[in-house]
A and B are shown apart, each in its own frame.
Chain A
Amino acid sequence: MSNPISLLVRDLHVDYEIFEDRRAALRDRIVRHQGTGRSVVHAIRGLSFDVAEGQAIGIIGSNGSGKSTLLAAVAGLLPPTSGEILVSEEPKLLGVGAMLLPAATGWRNISIGCLALGMTADEVDARIHEIAHFTGLGEALDRPLRTYSSGMKARLHFAVSTSVRPRILLIDEALAVGDQKFHKKASARIEELLAGAGTLLLVSHSMRSIEQNCERVLWIEQGRLRSDGKPAAVIEEYERFAS
């Protein structure tokens, strides 16, 4: 018997309504669907899969295939249009674009990020140095976040998100931007997480980091599942498609 399921996605659809022009959107509302400015993007069109505890899943696909949307939906940040997402515990999303408070220093961002994740002020005080040490950012932590490179932001965000030891961790491209040294530390932490019956969904364009960290790969194209299986096989299929 395999491990219990920790994440179940059933016939998931996610649509975005895009307002191309705010003024058009307002006119639209007043004149009832007259004029343009509004269009619907079907980002996810019927995805189903399940993930067992302790599994690390890589998600690959072209730009705009719906990978990031899928992670945001699983994190509960984007409500599905239809279908359902069931989880054993609240997933934590780690995305590379996420800016916490741009004007605040790295230290304050660590502390505010941890508080937002549900730590108390005392817990933050007790753990902030360990978290700061993990980022490896040193004196840069005294500078405002907006002065950080994308790799530095990713490191800070990774350290914060994994500090609460989430049982379901969703990583969106965040590993690709860190440098080699940080990469190793991050992989070690992910292994630790998986060993504790954690679950990982990793979105990446780096096939190397997928092969390194994942035992199964989902290939998504235009919001639909193209392939699901062992990394080597799926990646080969994807690379043939992409070239």
Chain B
Amino acid sequence: MDTAEDTSNLISVNASLSTRDYLIEMWNRRDFAISVPLEQLRSAHKTTLLGNLWHLGNPLLTIAVFYFVFGTLLKSDRGIDNYLLWLTIGVFTFRLSSSAVLGGATSISANKGLIRAIKFPRALLPISVVTSHVMTFGIELSLLAAFTLTSGVGLSRRLLLLPAIIVLHTAFNLGGALIAARLNEAFRDIQQIIPFVFRLLQYVSGVMFPIQSFLGDGIHGPAARVLSLNPILRIIDLYRWAFLGTAVDVGETLRVAGISLALLWFGFRYFRAAEWRYGRA
């Protein structure tokens, strides 16, 4: 064969894309990023009798259990008005974070078939998982809005800021999902550990009882400070502020916004740095 040919028109198959090109490439496949999670939502509860109703049935049962244990048995609602609504907001929001990060962790291994067959920006996989959970969250929020109306609290103008809160929350979740995806690819053990991390977080994020009031009189010093750094606690506070008008700390909100964006930025870079490795062997 003639090897003295001009090869200047050829490009390397392994040339890594610049961040800009990578983002463009992802944008070009946005329809793909939406269709995969829709498909997963559709098939998640296919084998059950109630099918897709479980997307709501599961969080509602969780709320019922927590209401019984923390509201009725332990009476740890500590004089919160509308405890049921307060709890519902906590459960819905917390679930969005935990399922997004856990879903992100398994997004690479669950899509080995696609990864081995087709070359596309792998970050689309954790992104599509997070997208699918945001979609379910949207349904939960409309349910929540209906509860809020019927309970006599009414819908406040503060809810106009809800999209901004969701964007911030999603940045945080996506950052976590991207990091979990890469970690789980190196150590499959991560997906066993994540549920326990979130179980702990659930107790210290004020999901079922107001951890702030415990911080006030129960715990002091460094422990209280560490617990109050928890970004999820602050994110749930933002939703409660929007729906119920409970207090929110502006300084803390800005700090959480900073953390969320930093986490997303770091998560994206961290995920991409090992991109070539996903789906090997």
The interface of chain A, by Cβ under 8 A from chain B, is 2, 4-6, 8, 16-19, 22, 26, 49-50, 52, 72-80, 84-88, 90-91, 93, 95, 97-104, 108, 111-113, 115-121, 124, 157
Contacts and interface: CB of A to CB of B under 8 A. Distances in A.
B116 A98 contact: yes
Given A50-B1, A111-B35, A101 B13 contact: no
Nearest to A2: B2
Chain B interface category by residue count = 35 or more
Contact of A88 (B1, B10, B46, B114): B10
Interface in B94-145: 113-120
Contacts of A90: 13, 119
8 contacts: A22-B188, A50-B3, A75-B119, A77-B119, A78-B280, A87-B10, A88-B11, A102-B113
A50 B1 CA distance: 8
B180 to A, nearest CB: 17
A101 B113 CA distance: 7
A28 B117 CA distance: 31
B71 interface: no
Given A2-B5, A5-B10, A88-B9, 9 more contacts: A76-B13, A86-B10, A86-B13, A95-B117, A102-B113, A112-B114, A115-B32, A119-B31, A120-B31
Interface of B: 1-3, 5-7, 9-14, 28-29, 31-32, 35-36, 39, 43, 46, 113-120, 187-189, 276, 279-281
B114 A91 contact: no
A97 B112 CA distance: 11
Query: Which of A19, A80, A86, A88 is packed against the most chain B CB atoms within 10 Å?
Result: A86
Given A78-B280, A112-B36, A100 B114 contact: yes
Contact of B28 (A91, A118, A157): A118
Contacts of A115: 29, 31-32, 35
B106 to A, nearest CB: 14
Contacts of A118: 28-29, 120
A84 B5 contact: no
A80 B14 contact: yes
B161 to A, nearest CB: 31
Nearest to B124: A116
B29 to A, nearest CB: 6
A52 B2 CA distance: 9
Contacts of B36: 101, 112
B contacts with A: majority SS:
loop
Given A98-B113, A101-B39, A102-B113, A8 B120 contact: no
Lowest 4 CB-CB distances: which A-B pairs, in order?
A115-B32, A98-B117, A99-B113, A86-B10
B7 A157 contact: no
A221 B152 CA distance: 77
A86 B28 CA distance: 24
A156 to B, nearest CB: 11
A238 to B, nearest CB: 20
Contacts of B120: 116, 118
B31 A121 contact: yes
A27 B7 CA distance: 46
B5 A4 contact: yes
B118 A117 contact: yes
B251 to A, nearest CB: 41
A78 B278 CA distance: 9
B126 to A, nearest CB: 15
A26 B2 contact: no
Contacts of A17: 281
A87 B11 contact: yes
A26 B189 contact: yes
Given A2-B2, A80-B14, A8 B7 contact: yes
Contacts of B118: 93, 113, 116-117
B46 A103 contact: yes
Contacts of A18: 281
Contacts of B9: 4, 88
B280 A116 contact: no
A97 B12 CA distance: 26
Query: Which of B2, B10, B36, B276 is packed against the most chain A CB atoms within 10 Å?
Result: B10
